[in-house]
Structure 1
Amino acid sequence: MKTSKAKLVLLCVFLCVTLQQPAAAQKPPAGLIKNLSVIDKHFSGDRALATVALLQNYWRHAGNRDFNLGMAAIAAALRAGGYSESDSRFKLLVRDTLLAHGRAWQPDFAELRLLAPNDTVLHSLAQAKMMLCPNSHATPPQGMRAELVDLDSLEVAPGSLRGKVAYTRRPPHEVFGEAALTGEAAGLISSYLPDFNRPVEHPASISMDAIPYVDSLVVFAFKISYASGVLLDSLLRHGPVLVQAKVQAQFSAKVVREVTAEITGSQKPEEMIAVIAHLDEPGANDNASGCATLLEMALALRQALAAGELPAPARTLTLKWVEEIATVLRWQRSEPAAFAQVIAALVLDMAGEDITQTGGSFLVERAPDPAAIWTRPPDQHTEWGSSEVEAADLQGTYLNDLFIAACEGRGRLARNGWQVHSNPFEGGSDHVPFLQHGVPAVLAWHFTDVFYRTSGDDIDKVSPQEMANVGVSAAATALFLAQGTEADAIAVVRLLLNRAVQRLENETRNSLAALGKPGADPAEEEKILRAWQRWYEEAFVSVRKLALAPASAGLTAKIAQAQRQLQRLTESKVNAIRRGRK
């Protein structure tokens, strides 16, 4: 049916007035608000912080002793909180997987001492976990004394570094072949820190890095701070430098423990909402805070549900503590039929930062949408950087806007000034394998963090309030997804339409601004608006999977109505662009 220009103008006015509310005025669905309010009563940020403190006792490398002890501590807390291997409703599962070709690395002691011209300890493992690179081998018990040579100023010949320790300002994994394989150095010392760690401002920070494992090679590698690097640079300019390295570390078979807390669905227990946090990485924020937040979510959900304060989930809530990315991939490969029943996934990674200290922001990393290809204000990528995304990778989903709305709703209810931001898809965490297998997934994280993967990532940079903000939002969203009523689904359609209108208004402004600049491509601007139209049309359709029952006539009509309104609005915006380019 054709629409006259006059009717089109009236429709656009109606949509702009009635649908394009400011973000702060857009309330989440009523069921989601109730979940937020009730779960908040049971979530303890202080208890989560105590869990972070406990996990910080362990150097968590996937499959090593400390990793599995951390998993055991999480399982013990779940048992104490009412989960059990024998409970069919609140079920605890602990699984150990032996990886035949894997290798676990466990550090126990490390010390780097400067012997000459001064005698002083530069760094120790007890002082800074990040100072010893994973895959470092043990030294003799008495340590190893060696001359320190400046690798960056040398032409390395085969065997030319034998019996020496090579110093570099580059990442150790980048120079490993040159120094250890070719030069046969006994060890490496690197002062490298990425620019976003702001080494001059934080001269004591030591950034984490790893070296490759080579069966036939016994070698160690240390990371040192910017301040220690300045010292070594100065000493090397004035004469010989002698160091002593002591390392106690061992390699063993890789047995990866994973812990799962399940709240069994009452109607469709085979369908799952997954919430994931990885335990590997030794930092407090990365990712003890994500694991502690997930643990507190599990405890709060059990308390609220057992007390009857919230309706039982119709789908199963599956909360997993894992090895980053690898566990989810193993899950998909070993249980493809069960994995295919995952409706959506929420991932917690670096969930608890005190942003007043780290300089980061709370972010929801969205499942791929057109901003991952055409990144325009207010969207921007973090210093993590973008991933290559093609138009074929885009699949509209309700999950992005729903979780953002939950976080915004949490901020309003808590009245604590929580700032919620989002970023286009970048990758790098446990949401990636879900997305690769067609499961909608979002990441709750913080970045850019000046202490990311450094010795500064300690418990003093973790905020119990931030863990409560993230955890309550994620728990409320997961339960909402597991409840899946038709009323909830219709409310999500309304939410999506509001957000779609906002997005089209914003992208139209971007396009008109672009067309005012030399060399702008009008066809490209239309292409971007059409991409957002298609993405949101698909997002509306995705709401059918949120509802437990097959889409009713009422839900189907609401989806079709929203799609028509979006199509008409898009046409008006495309016409505005065409007029703007003349």
Structure 2
Amino acid sequence: MKKLLTLSCSLLLLTAVKAQTSSSEKKYAKILEKTFNEQQAYNTVWFVEQRWRLAGNSGFNESIYQVEKILQQAGFTKETNGEATGILTYRIEKRPLKHVTWEPVDASVYIVGDKEPLLQFKTNRNMIAMYSASTPAAGVTAELVYVGKGSAKELEGKDLKGKIVMAETGIGGVYNNAIKSGAIGAIAYSMPRYNQPAKYTNSIQFQGITYTDSVNQKWGLLLSYAAKEKLKAALDKGPVSLKVMVNTKIYTSEELTLVANVRGKTKPDERFVFSAHVQEPGANDNASGVGTLAEMARTTAELVQKKKLTPQRTITFLWGDEIVSTHRYIHDDSVRAKGIKWGLSLDMVGEDIQKTGGTFLIEKMPDPSAIWTRGNEKHTEWGGGELKEENLFPHYFNDLLLNRCLNEAAITGWVVRTNPFEGGSDHTPFLNAKIPGLLMWHFTDVFYHTDADRLDMVSPVEMKHVAKSALTTAYLLTTANDKTATALINDITRNALQRLQTEFDLSKQAIQAGGDKTKEQHILQVWCDWYVKALGTASDISTGGGGKTVQQSIEKGQQQIKEQTGVYISQL
């Protein structure tokens, strides 16, 4: 996957939402605290993170089948005639991969003359670039040639035939240029600043090279900061030769997607969809999402069987290839897609924040903070693209999930923050299909995408916080009557008024600093319009269709927002 930041009114929201926790929410929070077993979630993370996972490879498939066992033990039955065959069902969808899959087996790099390896796979499991071919079993020995950033111009005129090329850049480009020039392989160093490579000197981020064919494919290796510095120091003293051994598997396979359903009683075609991607080799990214979601499914099945939960809408749990599987789930069945009301992605949800530095975040759907990112709002180091007003997605889902997380935080001290929309994970296919979609994740993580993302970086307690908040959100939205819907709408109205207060204060500061008054008034108006429209979407919260009291709550909230905005704009 992809990806610190606070909603400027988070502390205000925390106080307000805590006071407004509904009886339904209290009930769900209590039973989830007892029923969700964070150790079982952690055990699944342990199983999954041992495997280097890419769609179609053995590690990916073994992880899927491990989750299947958990579902079976929880009471889910395999579909025979489609989703309508039972309350708790699952299926594994199988499709031929359009391309070959790949998995690493072993690798080592020695500087000729040294007894100890420069790198070896058992301690740096990301050192082999994805889709690298194997060397002969005994390895290869060749001279190392340093080419700076590895551009075609820097390689021009150099004798690279039969040699190993080293560059300080991503492996993809230098590999292509090196192989075209007759090199037998390429070695590269490229680490983002947020990985703090000069501090964590042995970390390596995974990368890949282009696959051509079984005959012409060569290999690429990735360096840690320490390995890169050692090689450069050796090159400063004279010629360097390396002995390289790479062992990988490249083969045709099939893509697996696991889908489990807890069928809604009265509106089974309307659904809340959870997703967690299986591919990527890390513990937090994303074995923690896989393990958390597996335990969430088990927990939900137990509550349904004990009649402590009766969803009126369907709750779907999906495990697969990031973005690919969620996109397909939405687009393969147009009738099913019409009933998808919410999508929530779990990606990097288990981080021990004391070790990784990653803060728990909700990545919001596009709201005005993605255009005017100010105050305590910040993008992550992942970064956000340019959004325009026509790209905004007004919906109550942002605040509804945030409020559930803040309620959990009020009880436990959990740190909850948000970031403006950035994209790059399983929430984006939902948004692209105009379906409300959110992401629960952690960033900035100094071990993100590196081989230091292992089990000891995962917190069972953190996974439980995420799971309780996510499941409470789903349970409320799949069981809500008019009373619950009205309470949630009132919460969102308070959120809107608090946000307007925050933006008003920021606009006053901007004008006092010489900012344009018309622009600041416009920002307030856009926030007003966003929340008015967001409240308008709340008519679908109640499973009963939303009666008079629900509509009155929406209209009252919209009026309050408009009136307050008018006051603020007049005071600028």
TM-score if structure 2 supplies the norm length? 0.93
Q: How far apart, CA to CA, are the structure 2 residues paired with 1:255 and 1:489?
A: 43
Q: Which deviates the most, 67-76 or 332-341?
A: 332-341
Q: For residue 25 of structure 1, report the CA deviation from its aligned partner.
A: 4.1
Amino acid of the residue matched to residue 563 of structure 1? Q
2:489 is aligned with 1:493:
yes
Unaligned runs of 5+ in 2: 1-11, 80-84
Structure 1 counterpart of 2:7: none
| Alpha-carbon shift at residue 536 of structure 1 (Å) | 0.6
Q: Please name the residue that 1:298 is paired with.
A: 297
Report the Cα distance in structure 2 between the residues aligned to 1:356 and 1:90, rounded to whole angstroms: 38
Q: Percent identity?
A: 33
Residue 110, structure 1, aligned to residue 121, structure 2: no
CA distance in structure 2 between the partners assigned to 1:102 and 1:153 by the alignment: 29
Instruction: Note closer, same or farther for the CA distance 1:153–1:210 as it changes in structure 2 (3 Å cut).
Output: closer
1:150-184 deviation line (CA, Å, top 9, x unaligned)? 02188313783221111112111242333233x23
1:161 matched to 2:157: no
**Aligned to 2:255, what secondary structure does the other structure show?**
strand
CA distance in 1, matches of 2:274, 2:162: 49
Q: Say which SS state the counterpart of residue 93 (structure 1) adopts.
A: strand
Distance 1:26 1:324 in 2: 38
Q: CA deviation at 1:22?
A: 3.9
d(CA) in 1 for partners of 2:143, 2:431: 50
Q: Report whether the alignment pairs 1:547 with 2:546.
A: no
Opposite residue 517 of structure 1, the aligned amino acid is: A
SS in 2 for 1:450: coil
Residue 532 (str. 1) matches residue 498 (str. 2): no
User: In 1, Cα distance between the equivalents of 2:374 and 2:20?
Assistant: 26
SS of aligned partner of 1:512: helix
Deviation, structure 1 residue 244? 1.6
8 Å CA contact 1:27, 1:409 repeated in 2: no
SS in 2 for 1:246: strand
Q: Taking structure 1 as reference, are residues 212 and 23 closer, same or farther at Cα in structure 2, changes over 3 Å only?
A: farther
Query: In 2 relative to 1, CA 53–123 (structure 1 residues): closer, same or farther, beyond 3 Å?
Result: same
Asked if the contact 2:100/2:253 (under 8 Å) is kept, the reply is yes
Does residue 52 in structure 1 map to residue 45 in structure 2? yes
Alignment partner for residue 212 of structure 1, among 205, 210, 213? 210
Deviations 1:527-569 (A, max 9, x none): 1111111111111111112222333222111111111111000
Contact 2:99–2:252 (8 Å) recurs in 1: yes
How is 1:43-192 mapped onto 2 (pairs within 5 angstroms)?
A: 43-85=36-78, 88-99=86-97, 101-116=98-113, 118-152=114-148, 155-157=154-156, 160-181=159-180, 183-192=181-190
What RMSD, in angstroms, separates the aligned Cα atoms of the two structures?
A: 1.8
Aligned with 2:476 (options 474, 480, 483): 480
Q: Distance in 1 between matches of 2:347 and 2:14?
A: 31
Provide the rounded CA distance (Å) in 2 between the counterparts of 1:323 and 1:136.
Answer: 21
Confirm whether residue 427 of structure 1 aligns to residue 447 of structure 2.
Answer: no
Asked if the contact 1:151–1:179 (Cα under 8 Å) also holds between the matched residues in 2, the reply is: no
Matched letter for residue 556 of structure 1? Q
Equivalent of 2:513, from 494, 510, 517?
Answer: 517
Q: Summarize the alignment of residues 234-249 of structure 1 with structure 2, pairs less than 5 Å apart.
A: 234-249=233-248
**Is contact 1:266–1:315 with CA below 8 Å preserved after alignment?**
yes
Aligned equivalent of 2:287: 288
Deviations 1:302-338 (A, max 9, x none): 112211223x000000000110001112223321221
Cross-structure match for 2:270: 271
Pairwise CA distance, 1:505:
0.4
Q: CA deviation at 1:26?
A: 4.4
Q: Report what 1:200 is aligned to.
A: 198
Query: 2:371 matched to 1:376?
Result: no
Displacement of 1:236 in angstroms is 0.6
Change (3 A) 1:498 1:127: same
Return the alpha-carbon distance in structure 2 between the equivalents of residues 541 and 79 of structure 1. 40
Report if the CA contact (8 A) 2:106-2:246 is conserved: yes
With over 3 angstroms needed to count, the CA separation of the structure-2 counterparts of 1:258 and 1:389, relative to structure 1, is same
**Cα separation, 2, equivalents of 1:479 and 1:553:** 23
Q: Is the 8 A contact 2:489 2:535 kept in 1?
A: yes
- Contact in 2 for aligned 1:27/1:405 (Cα 8 Å): no
- 1:390-469 map, 5 Å: 390-413=388-411, 415=412, 417-469=413-465
Matched with 1:226 is 225
- 1:40 corresponding residue in structure 2: 33
Letter in 2 for 1:59: W
In the TM superposition, residue 483 of structure 1 has moved relative to its aligned partner by 1.1
Change (3 A) 1:396 1:187: same
Deviation track 1:22-55 (CA, whole Å, cap 9, x = no partner) reads 4464434432232122112111111111111111
Task: Give the deviation of 1:235 after TM superposition.
Answer: 0.2
1:571 and 2:566 matched:
yes
Change (3 A) 1:75 1:512: same
Cα distance in 1 for residues equivalent to 2:149 and 2:322: 37
Instruction: Report the alpha carbon displacement of residue 214 of structure 1 after superposing the two structures with TM.
Output: 2.2
Deviation per CA, 1:40-95: give whole Å up to 9, x if none.
Answer: 21111111111111112211011212111111111112112221115611112111
Could you list the per-position Cα deviations for residues 355-382 of structure 1 after superposition, in whole angstroms to 9, with x for gaps in the alignment?
0000110001111100011101111111
The CA deviation at 1:190 is 1.7
Instruction: Pick closer, same or farther for the CA change 1:175–1:523 going to 2, 3 Å.
Output: farther
- Return the offset for 1:517: 1.7
Give 2:491's aligned amino acid: L
Q: 5+ residue gaps in structure 1?
A: 1-18, 578-582
Letter of the structure 2 residue corresponding to residue 454 of structure 1? T
In the alignment, what sits opposite 2:255?
256
Q: Which runs of 4+ in 1 moved over 6 A?
A: none
SS of the equivalent of 2:497 reads: helix
Check conservation: 1:187, 1:220, Cα contact below 8 A: yes
Aligned partners of 2:332 and 2:159: how far apart in 1?
48
Q: Secondary structure at the match of 2:269?
A: strand
* Counterpart residue identity of residue 28, structure 2: N
For 2:296 and 2:369, the matched residues in 1 are separated by 31
8 Å CA contact 1:398–1:496 kept in 2: the answer is yes
| Aligned residue runs from structure 1 range 2-41, under 5 A | 22-23=15-16, 25-41=18-34
Figure out how many residues of one structure are paired with residues of the other and give that number.
553
- Asked if the contact 2:14–2:410 (Cα under 8 Å) also holds between the matched residues in 1, the reply is no
Give, in whole Å, the separation in 2 of the partners of 1:546 and 1:77: 31
What secondary structure, in the 3-state scheme, does the structure 1 residue paired with 2:126 have? helix
In structure 1, distance between residues paired with 2:448 and 2:16: 30
Q: In the alignment, residue 165 of structure 2 is paired with which amino acid?
A: A
Instruction: Report the secondary structure of 1:258's partner residue.
Output: strand
Moved more, 257-266 or 102-111: 102-111
- Counterpart contact for 2:179–2:185, Cα < 8 Å: yes
Partner of 2:82: none
Where does residue 312 of structure 2 map in the other structure? 314
